[in-house]
Amino acid sequence: MTMTIYVNQQPLPCPMNTLLADVPALLQLPAQHLAFAVNHTIVHRQQWADFALNHGDQLDAFTLVAGG
Amino acid sequence: MSNVPDAPQQWYSRYSRHFLLENFDETHQQRLQQSHLTVIGMGGLGTTAAQHLAASGAGTLSLVDADTVCISNLPRQLLYSEADIGRPKVFAAREHLQANNPGCIIETHVGQASSCELPGLCGPTDAILDCTDNIQTRLALSRYARSAGLPLFSAAAAGYSAQVIAFNPAPGHCCYGCLYGLNAIAPQHCLSHGVLGPVVASAALFQALQVLYFVTRLAPVSWGSLYRFDARTLQWLNHQLPVNLHCEVCQS
Ligand SMILES: [Zn+2]
């Protein structure tokens, strides 16, 4: 069984019960320097492994900056 | 140069476009005039934010920066001119800000905003603007703002990205430490990566607008909302930052 989530507005098919911690590998991106918001709320890295995604979830994957 | 307040008629003329705004009256302008704001870092962010706050009628600005003006600042830091090269940024800034609005009191501090000096640097302020270019100062500011009960308006920019977030010092709100704890800050700053003036200015203008809303109470501040601007797609996005229960700044 698969479902579709959206990462930065692009559809991403993935298995049911996909966890947020699985998403970097699905995106073929290193998890380092990556932040996720799910449905407009940021999810702290410590919660990724327990954070189950649902069909239709809107994710934003981004990095932060600190320059000025 | 010292500050020269406007005569009443001139005061009304100067801010006449504010008074034409819906929901904006003399009370809002007076709140701005009574405000004391501290700008830490007078680079691309701080110059732009300070320019708008001083010109809009902020009563007192405290400016903190250790640097002198150099030619590579000029494409982004429009407050300075070629004649300022080599001068401490805060002195050049005071001169140019008061040339625009002599009613604004400008306090200057040449130096780094290290954590031990923050109480003296920030003094009796209503809000702190984090316009720095390094994580350690940002964390120190967050610790200080939290302990002193001061709101912290944080802006950052690098490459094609800008971000702005306002932190409420009350318990139960997130802080810069919570943002830092995401471990998502790209290892870049404007010394090693490029940056465009309008990208930095976008962050600073958004930051200044939030401060203006906070001081005048013209609109609510959405504390803990991370606003990100992607200059490549020209999109602003915002996400709520929850408190990180492992945060070393607000949870210890
Ligand atoms: Zn925190």
Interchain pair B240, A64: CB under 8 A: no
ipTM of the complex: 0.95
Contact list in A for residue B187 (CB cut-off 8 A) is 33
The alpha-carbon gap from A49 to the nearest alpha carbon of chain B, in Å, equals 14
Question: Is residue B77 over pLDDT 90?
Answer: yes
CATH code for position A9: 3.10.20.30
Domain range enclosing A54:
2-62
Domain range enclosing B188:
21-240
pLDDT band at B115 (very low <50, low <70, confident <90, very high): low
Q: Which of A6, A38, A44, A46 to mutate against chain B (most B CBs within 10 Å)?
A: A44
Q: What is the pLDDT of residue B170?
A: 96
Residue A68 lies in a domain: no
Supply φ then ψ for residue B43, to 5 degrees: -90, -145
The alpha-carbon gap from B133 to the nearest alpha carbon of chain A, in Å, equals 4
CA of B243 to the centre of ligand 1 (A): 6
Close Cβ partners of B152 (under 8 Å, ≥ 6 residues apart): B127, B128, B130, B141, B142, B145, B166, B167, B169, B175, B176
Q: What is the pLDDT of residue B243?
A: 98
C-alpha closest to that of B19 among B27, B9, B8: B27
Q: What is the pLDDT of residue B85?
A: 98
Residue B15 lies in a domain: no
The alpha-carbon gap from A63 to the nearest alpha carbon of chain B, in Å, equals 5
The shares of helix, strand and coil residues in chain A, as percent rounded to the nearest 5, are 20, 40, 40
More reliable by pLDDT, B179 or B193: B179
Cα–Cα distance between B206 and B202 in angstroms, integer? 6
Question: Is residue B3 over pLDDT 90?
Answer: no
Whole-angstrom distance between the N-terminal and C-terminal Cα of chain A? 46
Question: Is residue B27 over pLDDT 60?
Answer: yes
Q: What is the pLDDT of residue B112?
A: 85
Looking up tokens 């709140």 gives B31
pTM confidence score: 0.96
Q: What is the pLDDT of residue B178?
A: 98
Mean pLDDT confidence for B148-169: 96
Residue B130 lies in a domain: yes
Q: How many domains does chain A have?
A: 1
Residue A67 lies in a domain: no
Residue B7 lies in a domain: no
Considering CB atoms only, which of B157, B181, B237 is closest to A68?
B157
Grouping H, G, I as helix, E, B as strand and the rest as coil, residue B113 is coil
CATH code for position B77: 3.40.50.720
Residue A53 lies in a domain: yes
Q: What is the pLDDT of residue B188?
A: 64
CA of B49 to the centre of ligand 1 (A): 25
pLDDT band at B113 (very low <50, low <70, confident <90, very high): confident
Residue B190's H or E segment, with its range, is: none
Residue B13's H or E segment, with its range, is: helix B8-14
Residue A15 lies in a domain: yes
Question: Is residue B76 over pLDDT 80?
Answer: yes
Q: What is the pLDDT of residue B122?
A: 74
Question: Is residue B161 over pLDDT 70?
Answer: yes
Cα–Cα distance between B108 and B63 in angstroms, integer? 5
Greatest alpha-carbon span in chain A = 46
Residue B185 lies in a domain: yes
DSSP strand E in chain A: where? 2-7, 10-15, 35-38, 41-43, 58-62
- Tens digit of each residue's pLDDT (9 = 90 or more) over B192-236: 678 999 999 999 999 999 999 999 999 999 999 999 999 999 999
Cα–Cα distance between A66 and B35 in angstroms, integer? 27
Residue B10 lies in a domain: no
Cα–Cα distance between B100 and B92 in angstroms, integer? 13
Residue B162 lies in a domain: yes
Q: What is the pLDDT of residue B193?
A: 73
pLDDT of chain A, 68 residues: tens digit per residue: 899 999 999 999 999 999 999 999 999 999 899 999 999 999 999 999 999 999 999 999 999 999 98
Q: How many domains does chain B have?
A: 1
Tokens representing residue B10 in the block: 């001139």
